[in-house]
């Protein structure tokens, strides 16, 4: 297949591109704006096997260039961090909502299949049980609200124009190449440096952890076998409260729990996410990596790949970290 992968220089997108080039021999075009979260280094071993277009999904000219001759579009491109969306939602509206609209228009003009990568956060929080694809959409943060808006727009292009759309909603991902603003890489790198580990509130919020390659395979399944107009949930095999995730990281890095510090909770913090993935399983997908094994591999990857994170920790990330945690951590 010839695929246009938007946001292919980010965390999940780069792992997906690697999987498609390595295991499927796909011809891949990557369109990426290279924001703080998108890096050519994420594709260091694959970049020479893809066509890379540096541009924004909300730019119709860049999109028209990148979409030329492809069979399908897979859209990972997004602003993705909930805390940043709380501090400043602007870029989330532009990329997640307007950007998706520009891509949909281009896919309609080209008549190609469109897979939107979405998130469990569109359903909001669930105390017990799991969300199915039929559950109501009740996003809580500016991030999840803009992802929900994008999902609704994607659905409208199926109903109104007959565009072949598929939506795949993943739960919290973890693994190599994740920018250290997110819980797991932030805690791993802080622990490796003996820095404080900032847990929001009581740390009893629960996330449904999905290894990044399992999500990549799930998206591939939805792309190849999903019915037009349908939504497929792709949830991880295990759930874990945040405090336990952090305690496991403390132990895997040979540290002491005294590094853990409870800080002010995130506003509007969703308590628990959980997805039922029966519908995707019926297409033949199954998560292969359990949390204990995936977390151990992830900690080992960060330990062994200082070349990847050192430039991040010494760059703009420091400023972000000071702004987000400086006061709380003294
Ligand atoms: P990320 O922040 O690591 O990467 C986002 C990528 O999109 C970067 O390469 C960035 O440069 C690019 N990008 C941002 N704005 C752009 C624009 N306007 N035009 C072109 N490129 C742009 O994000 P991620 O964690 O890899 O998430 C990828 C997708 O998966 C997102 O759509 C996200 O909503 C979804 N998702 C993420 C998770 C998770 O746990 N991280 C879970 C479920 C779904
Ligand atoms: P995050 O990785 O930001 O993903 P999401 O908000 O999309 O689930 O956060 C995962 C969980 O970890 C979430 O409940 C918030 C919490 N968290 C902390 O307790 N401390 C932190 O420093 C961060 C970044 C997250």
Q: Residues 6 or more apart from 183 whose CB is under 8 A from it? A: 172, 207, 242, 245
* pLDDT range class, residue 237, cuts 50, 70, 90: very high
Whether 320 is catalytic is no
Q: Residues 6 or more apart from 322 whose CB is under 8 A from it? A: none
The whole-angstrom distance between residue 21's C-alpha and the CA centroid of its chain comes to 19
**CATH code matching the domain that covers 176-207+238-267+290-325, chosen among 3.40.50.720, 3.40.190.10, 3.90.25.10, 2.60.120.620:** 3.90.25.10
| Pocket, ligand 2, Cβ cutoff 6 A | 82, 172, 182-183, 186, 198-200, 205, 207, 242, 266
CATH of the domain spanning 2-173+210-234: 3.40.50.720
pLDDT in tens, 269-293: 999 999 999 999 999 999 999 999 9
Query: Pick from 174, 273, 247: which is nearest to 216 by CA?
Result: 174
Whether 213 is catalytic is no
176-207+238-267+290-325 and 2-173+210-234 share a CATH fold: no
Q: Which of 26, 32, 58, 143 is catalytic?
A: 143
Whether 121 is catalytic is yes
Residue ranges covered by each domain of the chain: 2-173+210-234, 176-207+238-267+290-325
| pLDDT above 80: residue 330 | no
Q: Which of 26, 32, 58, 121 is catalytic?
A: 121
pLDDT in tens, 183-204: 999 999 999 999 999 999 999 9
Q: Is 43 in the pocket of ligand 1 (CB under 6 A)?
A: no
pLDDT in tens, 122-131: 999 999 999 9
């Amino acid at each position: 297949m010839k695929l246009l992968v938007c946001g292919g220089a980010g965390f999940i997108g780069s792992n997906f591109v690697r999987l498609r080039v390595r295991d499927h021999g796909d011809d891949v075009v990557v369109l990426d704006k290279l924001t703080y979260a998108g890096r050519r280094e994420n594709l260091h071993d694959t970049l020479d096997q893809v066509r890379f277009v540096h541009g924004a999904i909300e730019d119709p000219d860049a999109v028209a260039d990148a979409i030329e001759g492809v069979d399908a579009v897979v859209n990972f491109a997004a602003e993705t961090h909930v805390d940043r969306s709380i501090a400043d939602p602007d870029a989330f509206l532009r990329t997640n909502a307007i950007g998706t609209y520009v891509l949909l228009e281009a896919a309609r003009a080209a008549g190609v299949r469109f897979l939107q990568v979405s998130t469990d956060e569109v359903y909001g929080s669930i105390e017990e049980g799991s969300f199915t694809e039929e559950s109501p959409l009740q996003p809580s943060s500016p991030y999840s609200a803009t992802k929900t808006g994008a999902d609704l727009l994607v659905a409208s292009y199926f109903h109104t124009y007959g565009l072949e759309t598929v939506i795949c909603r993943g739960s919290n991902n973890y693994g190599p190449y994740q920018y250290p603003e997110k819980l797991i890489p932030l805690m791993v790198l802080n622990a490796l440096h003996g820095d404080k580990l900032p847990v929001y509130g009581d740390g009893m919020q629960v996330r449904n952890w999905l290894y990044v390659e399992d999500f990549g395979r799930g998206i591939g399944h939805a792309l190849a076998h999903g019915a037009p107009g349908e939504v497929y949930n792709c949830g991880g095999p295990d759930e874990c409260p945040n405090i336990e995730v952090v305690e496991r990281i403390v132990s895997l890095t040979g540290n002491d729990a005294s590094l853990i510090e409870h800080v002010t909770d995130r506003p509007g913090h969703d308590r628990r996410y959980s997805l039922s993935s029966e519908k995707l399983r019926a297409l033949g997908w199954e998560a292969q990596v359990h949390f204990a094994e995936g977390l151990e591999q992830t900690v080992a990857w960060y330990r062994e790949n200082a070349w990847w994170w050192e430039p991040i920790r010494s760059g703009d990330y420091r400023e972000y970290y000071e702004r987000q945690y400086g006061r709380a951590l003294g």
